[in-house]
Amino acid sequence: MKTEFTAQTEITPQLEKKIVAIAERYHKEPHQLMRILLDIQKVTSNAIPREVAIVVSRVTGIPEAKLYGFVSFYAMISPAPRGKYVIRMCESAPCHVTGAVAVMESIIKTLGIQPGETSRDGRFTLEYCQCLGVCESSPAILVNDMIYKNLTPGRAATLIEDYMRGDVS
Amino acid sequence: MSKVKLTIDGLPVEIEEGATILRAADELDIYIPTLCYHPDQNVKANCRICVVEVVGMKLLVPACSYPATEGMAVLTHSQRVRTARRNILELILARHAQDCLHCDRSGFCELQKVSEEMHFLRTPRYPYVARSDYWDDSSPSIVRNSQKCVACGRCEYVCSNIQTVHALSKVGRGFEVNFEPAYGKKLGDSVCINCGQCIQACPTAALTIYDYTLRVWRAFADPQKTVVAQVAPAVRITLAEALGEAPGTISTGRLVTALKRVGFDVVFDTDFTADLTIMEEGTELLGRINNGGVLPMITSCSPGWIKFCETYYPDLIPNLSTCKSPQAMFGALIKTFYAKQIRKVPSDIFSVSIMPCTAKKFEAQRPEMGRNGYRDVDVVISVQEIARMIRSAGINFSNLPETPFDSPFGLGSGAGEIFGATGGVMEAALRTVYEIVTGKELDSLDFESVRGFEGIKEASVMVGDIKVKVAVAHGLGNARKLMDAIRAKEADYHFIEIMACPGGCIGGGGNPIKNWRKMGPRLEAVYREDKNMPLRKSHENPYVKKLYEDFLGEPNSHKCHELLHTRYVDRSYLLR
């Protein structure tokens, strides 16, 4: 697995407080590690980088290496910092058949970044993902928690531009 | 427990309920190839090379995890099994660099053995694609080569579950899965404590010992250098095994002959400084007990354990004995006392220690282990490496005559010898402390309660009018339990021995590849060697006495502190 670890995430006291508060849920519900890490991602750089993992490790007692194994396994969690908006294009067959390739090309053109990259302003990360479960309205993309269906290249570009302008939050 | 009857390849066998097909096949002496299976670990069943056919079942099942049941008929080499196994092997080989000719594990690689036993001759149908280009020689002890990894997970199991070091983790998923330290760190910068248990667990050459033999060969070729070897207690127990003899074969005399023939000028016995360690550590312990020092005092012979303590328990560093390990004490003596004796400058002495340990390589590089710009120990080589050196020098080890160690550091006692096994340092210390304090001779020198492979052993001994409570732990998972108890102030021991490796030095990472079945004979050999020694107590070693008279003064003197004691650093930053 190739991950660049050059970017540092600064842990301010406020951020640390937020992370600790979420991580402490682990003591009550240790089976919910996934949920906890996803929630922590929302207050950090959309990722669980090393600096964050160390705080989580300290609170939960889970060794850093174990957390890294967990984080690197699941596609929804990233060990490297990501943009404020993570755009995920479904790459499963139904979306592919209904025109995902053209939609993706349009998104790439609009954002100016390739899949796996983060825009230079740190706002957008583009990724592929597996089936989103809305095959009846494919092609579909996921932007953070929001799903957008029945896309065409033109609609996708408009949507991304809305995000870029900050019309959607 | 109830038993079940089944047949394997038509042969009837009876085995307790719940046992796996693999166990049942073992009863019948039927070989089923395995890779991810390790006799000392939990079942993983991820490599699938052990698949067998159960008559009437649609799918093949892995023998290492599938339980034997009543009336089951198992076929281990039917056409279906053979076809499937070949395909599985080809898939594994598609991710395994096949440069066996110059591979560190060639000859004792489990994948090589599987391929050979399966009589696999064709060229694999799938092209080789490297798992990852992760190559890591940042650690002075362990080299990690992902191209040889078969993703069995045995290294991670031993690192996390047995040693609780958590240096390696399973990273990524699917084709890209790899075993590496967290967040792209290199082993050398990680919490890895260099114990080498992952090397012992690895079936292939994905984890190997950092090889320093070239530097030793180069030193032999340098006419300026006097090449001095010191040989650790456990080496004479495991070297013969590394050269193909039965586990537990003691080879002290042949070992010295072989080292001389390979090119070492002088061969000393680390048993000697083990005795010295007992004098220093015993005196330190008595000092702490009498003067209200920090108790419990914990042994410091195991460099893997030291780094573990520095990383995970920096608050307990004051509990560590300040004594250097026997290897480091010897290093200091060779470059000072011995150098003066043979009228050489320290830089003209090349000091090599031959150890069952990979963490000693790290210890020798610590800044505390040297002075005036030279290292006390120049190179540490493991049992596996010295076995290779002996073989590549064309020496037939089995036919060698015996040679004694060189003086003045050639005599060690049985107490020094048992340093090689878990509980040994404790037993050696008790023998000496008891006799020094009480002035009486021990009736029996064998402290059975600190011997054996139980994870944590406890004993208490009346020494004069003090009841000395001791504990012994081996394997860092067990050490962690003891340390947590000390932290919580729930332990009232005086003295604790901790060895990083399960079983002590005879289970060290630099030994020939082990499992618990081989450890029994090794342990037995340690105590057999102890019994055969003319001297069995450290304080009766005449050369140790003489060294104190001529050079060191008395135990824990200023000179001793300068040469034989050390300090530790807080490494908890590795966790931050």
pLDDT tens figures, A64-87: 999 999 999 998 898 988 888 999
A27 assigned to some structural domain: yes
Q: Indicate if A160 and A109 belong to the same structural domain.
A: yes
Report chain A residues whose CB lies below 8 A from the CB of B171. Answer: 1, 68-69, 72
Q: Indicate if A68 and A107 belong to the same structural domain.
A: no
Rg (chain A; Cα; Å): 17
Give CATH for domain B216-573: 3.40.950.10
Answer for the pair B84, B51: CB distance below 8 angstroms, yes or no. Answer: yes
Architecture of domain B100-209: 2-Layer Sandwich (3.30)
Find the CB nearest A69 among B170, B176, B184. B170
A133 assigned to some structural domain: yes
| b/e sequence B62-77, b meaning 16+ C-beta within 10 Å | bbbbbebeeebebbbe
Q: What is the mean pLDDT of residues B353-363?
A: 96
pLDDT of residue B102 exceeding 60, the answer is yes
Q: Indicate if A59 and A108 belong to the same structural domain.
A: no
Answer for the pair B22, B34: CB distance below 8 angstroms, yes or no. Answer: yes
Q: Indicate if A97 and A61 belong to the same structural domain.
A: no
Counting other chains too, the contacts that A107-112 makes at CB distance below 8 Å and 24 or more residues apart are A107/A141, A107/A156, A107/A157, A107/A160, A109/A157, A110/A156, A110/A157, A110/A160, A110/A161, A110/A164, A111/A87, A111/A160, A111/A164
Structural domain span for residue A61: 13-73
Q: Which of A52, A73, A94 is the last residue of a domain?
A: A73
Tell me whether 0.85 is exceeded by the ipTM: yes
- Please judge whether A50 and B182 are an interchain contact, meaning their C-beta atoms are less than 8 angstroms apart: yes
Per-chain mean pLDDT for chain B = 93
DSSP-based helix, strand, coil % in chain A, nearest 5? 50, 10, 40
- Please judge whether A66 and B167 are an interchain contact, meaning their C-beta atoms are less than 8 angstroms apart: no
Please give the Cα distance from B280 to A77 (Å, whole number).
53
Strand pairing report for B169-171 and B297-298? unpaired
Residue A112 at interface with chain B, using a CB cutoff of 8 Å: no
Find the CB nearest A65 among B168, B172, B177. B168
Q: Indicate if A90 and A59 belong to the same structural domain.
A: no
Q: Indicate if A113 and A64 belong to the same structural domain.
A: no
Q: How sure is the predictor about B410, in pLDDT bands with cuts at 50, 70 and 90? A: confident
Residues of B with CB under 8 A from a CB of A: 132, 160, 166-173, 176-178, 181-184, 191, 575-576
Q: What is the mean pLDDT of residues B562-575?
A: 93
Give pLDDT, residue A1.
43
Q: In chain A, how many domains are there? A: 2
Q: Which residue has the tokens 């008790």?
A: B430
Give pLDDT, residue A8.
65
Chain-centroid distance of CA A125 in Å reads: 7
A79 assigned to some structural domain: no
Could you report the per-residue pLDDT of B242-259, keeping only the tens digit for each? Answer: 999 999 999 999 999 999
Strand pairing report for B266-269 and B226-231? parallel
CATH no. for residue A143? Answer: 3.40.30.10
pTM: 0.92
> Using the 8-state DSSP alphabet, how is residue B41 labeled?
S
φ, ψ of residue A149 in degrees (nearest 5): -115, 175
Min distance A23 CA to chain B CA atoms (Å): 17
Give CATH for domain B3-93: 3.10.20.740
Q: What is the mean pLDDT of residues B334-353?
A: 93
Among A115-124, B68-77, B332-341, whose mean pLDDT is lowest? A115-124
- Please judge whether A72 and B166 are an interchain contact, meaning their C-beta atoms are less than 8 angstroms apart: no
Q: How sure is the predictor about A5, in pLDDT bands with cuts at 50, 70 and 90? A: low
A92 assigned to some structural domain: yes
A153 assigned to some structural domain: yes
Find the CB nearest B182 among A1, A65, A73. A65
Q: How sure is the predictor about B371, in pLDDT bands with cuts at 50, 70 and 90? A: confident
Write down the domain spans for chain B.
3-93, 100-209, 216-573
A4 assigned to some structural domain: no
A103 assigned to some structural domain: yes
Maximum distance among all alpha carbons in chain B?
80
Could you report the per-residue pLDDT of B229-246, keeping only the tens digit for each? Answer: 999 999 999 999 999 999
pLDDT of residue A168 exceeding 80, the answer is no
Answer for the pair B502, B456: CB distance below 8 angstroms, yes or no. Answer: no
